[in-house]
Amino acid sequence: MSNSVKVSDIAAPLAVGVAVLLLWQVLITVLDVPVYLVPSPLRVAQALVEDRELLAASLWVTLKVTLAAFALAVLLGTAAAFLFVQSRWIERALFPYAVLLQVTPIVAIAPLIIIWVKDMQAALVLCATIVAIFPVISNTTLGLRSVDPGLADLFRLHHATRWQTLVRLRIPGALPYFFGGLRIASGLALIGAVVAEFVAGTGCNGAGLAYQILIAGFQLNVPRLFAALFLIAVAGVALFLVMAGLSRLALRGWHESELGG
């Protein structure tokens, strides 16, 4: 990987971002748009600084839900995948329900979950987990099944036990798929957390970023609304980068996706 490639990788999107912000600032100033409709980037930055304690606390609340849901989704999703590859019968019997979980809009079932689960924090985590779990299940299952038939024959020839085949062949072979699932799931966990917070409405024990957006909307405090939105986006990008880094660490040197560039 050469240095020049890395610089342009960062410089190009940065240049686009700066240009858009400049254009935005200029348009707001020239057209004299009122701040309660669209705030200028500088006003959003100002809100970020002025409300930093409130927003940081909310960010932490949302991140806690997101990370707990993500961890739960990875744990349960991987467990489900291991169960599915034990037999086609199990997969056929259970997979439709995983799909059902995936296609049901979380907005529609979140109110039920919030009624049923007393602890609000747990209810939010549960909602976000439901949103995030499917890519982990489907990708890991696919990965565990995608064994090179030649290598499978080789393991059979040497009388490998089920355990040896799992640890030495199936799991390493599934890693690229697994990490692909993690990237999608990390973003979905954040989306799930935000959506669940919206449905929950009032933040009872600590208000997350979604709650701040709701309240800021009611109060026409649009700069703060934008600031909260900005933080959600940054959190999403950060999660994605962490997942990409983990994937690179694990697949470096052998998988096509992490070579060259």
Partner 1 sequence: MTAVPADAAPVIDVLAAGKAYPNGTHALDPVTLTVRQREFVTLLGPSGCGKSTLLKMMAGLLAPSCGSVRTAAVRSGFVFQDATLMPWATVRANVRLPLDLAGHERIAADQRVDQALDAVGLPGTAGQRPRELSGGMRMRASLARALVNEPELMLMDEPFGALDEITRNRLDADLIRLWEERHLTVVFVTHSIYEAAFLSTRVLVMSARPGRIASELVIDEPQPRSESFRGSTRFAYHCRQLSALLADAEAAGAA
Q: What residues make contact with partner 1 under the rule CB under 8 A?
A: 148, 150-151, 153-160, 164, 168-169, 172-173, 175, 253-255, 259
Give the span between the Cα atoms of 202 and 219, in whole angstroms: 15
| Nearer CB in complex with partner 1: 64/255 | 255
Of 84, 246, 121, 102, nearest to 188 by C-alpha is 102
190 near 239, Cβ under 8 Å?
yes
How many Cα atoms are found within 13 Å in the side-chain-facing hemisphere of 248? 9
| Nearer CB in complex with partner 1: 96/172 | 172
| Nearer CB in complex with partner 1: 60/254 | 254
243 near 183, Cβ under 8 Å?
yes
Q: How far is the CB of 172 from partner 1 (least distance, A)?
A: 5
Q: How far is the CB of 88 from partner 1 (least distance, A)?
A: 18
Q: How far is the CB of 29 from partner 1 (least distance, A)?
A: 55
| Nearer CB in complex with partner 1: 10/157 | 157
Q: How far is the CB of 175 from partner 1 (least distance, A)?
A: 7
Structural tokens at position 247: 């994937």
Q: How far is the CB of 104 from partner 1 (least distance, A)?
A: 37
Give the span between the Cα atoms of 3 and 151, in whole angstroms: 38
Structural tokens at position 2: 């050469």
62 near 207, Cβ under 8 Å?
no
Q: How far is the CB of 258 from partner 1 (least distance, A)?
A: 11
| Nearer CB in complex with partner 1: 34/172 | 172
| Nearer CB in complex with partner 1: 92/156 | 156
Give the span between the Cα atoms of 143 and 161, in whole angstroms: 20
Give the span between the Cα atoms of 223 and 217, in whole angstroms: 10
